[in-house]
Amino acid sequence: MTRRPRPRGLRARLLVAFVLVTVLGAAAAAWSSAGSARTALVTSTQQRLTEAVTGRIEAVVPELRYPPDRAALDRLRAAVGSNTLVTYEDMRSVGGADTGLVTRELRAAVRSRNALVTQRITAGGRPWLLIGTPVTITAPDGARSPSGIEVYAVRDLAGVERQTDGLTRSAVSTAALALPPAVLLALLASRSVLRPVRDLRDTARRLAAGDLGARLPVQGADELTELTVTVNEMAESLQTSMTAMRRMQTDARRFAADVSHELRTPLSTLTAVVEVLATAADGMEADARESAELAITETHRLVRLVEDLMEVSRFDAGTARLRLEDVDVTGAVRDCLRARGWLEEIELTAAEEIVLRLDRRRLDVVVANLAGNALRHGEPPVRVHVSASREQVRIEVTDSGPGLPADVLPHVFDRFYKADAVRTRTPGSGLGLAIALENARLHGGDVTAGRAEGGGARFVLRLPRDRDPEDGRAGWDV
């Protein structure tokens, strides 16, 4: 079943509705006027023809003798005109070929009513008026009595029909002539009505594009004016909220950057002390050694957290830069795993050599975060697969653990997000995956998370091969 096309857009619908109402109104008015004129024309023509017949009869009747003979009937017929039938008992005087149109119903009505009767019929595709009347005798005292003579006249109404058809055509022409003015008026009306709507649309687009200072001038006192005031109030509230939010975000980022920077010096000192403490831990009592090892672990964790916070601050400030060089991706991944002692725990499969221009240090950070996450939260075997196509290089990290729940997937790259709220003391800072994603995007790539085919989690790093470091994009430091 096909749907009828409908006009789309408020302007098109307003135009169609306005034109339809105007044209239909004009057509209805013209048609009604034409109908009234047609009825009046037919009525007046019928009255005129009837009066003409009765007038001619009355002019001849005083001169007739009763009972009439055939000559009297012919005389009366000739006075009435062509297409006339005059009867008296069994005598008939006929003139014209169209007298055969006189119907039995008309003759019966004349005889029963003893009065003038008219009837309109259509014969041969043409309209006709049938007039039947009895002839009465007026006595000297004014009394009237039937004479037995009946006169029937047939009159052609084709001329009247042509006139009524002309009125109908005039009505159609009037409706057609109303179309151009209706379209013009509809355009003018739609322009004045839709201008505030377009202004609202443009303002909404500016707000959506980030121009929170967009406002509409308030004019008039109709419903659109009320809507304009509401939109302005909404924009004002949104601008106030966004300004406050941006200020809080800026303050939070500055605070994190400042705290991280200020912690570097005391942490360096604390790290040196912890290293000394680590060398002396073997000679301590069991309780003291346990406390020392806990202090060493937490100090290293704090150092990593501060380093991650500083890295995140660089991303937020837009100061992170790539130091590009031609890197063997397979060798860089293998070096990353070897430096952390993971080659025995992770199964690496890769092509012999895949050279890509990138920042080796940032690639090491991404791979370390993805592989370390699989080792901490997944189950062996953990696999890293490096592959390449003409468009991109893929580094896929999978594990055989329980995988990522559906409610966790949308948040795995959120900062400080941990799937298990109970594990607040895990070695990670909660920033590793977020930093991995930012580093991938800095290279023009991406990191995605999902479920592996045999269960477990799967993270895929994609780096484009066709990105030109000479294209002048921000964030590239060659």
- Listed by start position, the domains of the chain span 10-179, 212-319, 320-477
Please list, in sequence order, all residues whose beta carbon lies within 8 angstroms of the beta carbon of residue 437, skipping any fewer than 6 positions away.
413, 446, 447
**Helix H or strand E encompassing 34:** helix 10-60
Q: What is the pLDDT of residue 473?
A: 42
Asked if residues 260 and 310 have their Cβ atoms less than 8 Å apart, the reply is yes
- Helix locations, 147-222, DSSP H: 158-177, 179-208
- Which pairing describes strands 382-388 and 346-350: parallel, antiparallel, or unpaired? parallel
Q: What is the pLDDT of residue 188?
A: 67
- Cis previous bond, 381, omega within 30: yes
Sign for the pseudo-dihedral over CA of 464, 467, 472, 478: positive
- Cα–Cα distance between 195 and 216 in angstroms, integer? 12
Q: What is the pLDDT of residue 149?
A: 84
> Spelled out in words, what is the top-level CATH class assigned to the domain 212-319?
mainly alpha
pLDDT per 10-residue tile (average), the chain, 478 residues: 53 64 64 65 79 81 78 82 84 81 86 85 82 78 75 81 71 67 66 70 80 77 75 82 76 64 70 74 74 76 71 74 92 93 92 89 93 90 92 93 87 77 52 90 94 88 75 42
The answer to whether domain 10-179 and domain 212-319 are alike in fold is no
- CA dihedral (197, 201, 204, 205) in degrees, to 10, reads -170
Which tokens hold the place of 83? 């297409």
pTM attached to this predicted model = 0.48
> Spelled out in words, what is the top-level CATH class assigned to the domain 10-179?
alpha beta
- Helix locations, 61-157, DSSP H: 70-80, 104-113
Please list, in sequence order, all residues whose beta carbon lies within 8 angstroms of the beta carbon of residue 345, skipping any fewer than 6 positions away.
375, 380, 382
Which tokens hold the place of 459? 């993270």
- Cα–Cα distance between 310 and 260 in angstroms, integer? 6
CATH fold, domain 320-477, is Heat Shock Protein 90 (3.30.565)
Q: What is the pLDDT of residue 335?
A: 94
What single-letter DSSP state applies at residue 29?
H
Which tokens hold the place of 244? 């406050």
Asked if residues 84 and 95 have their Cβ atoms less than 8 Å apart, the reply is yes
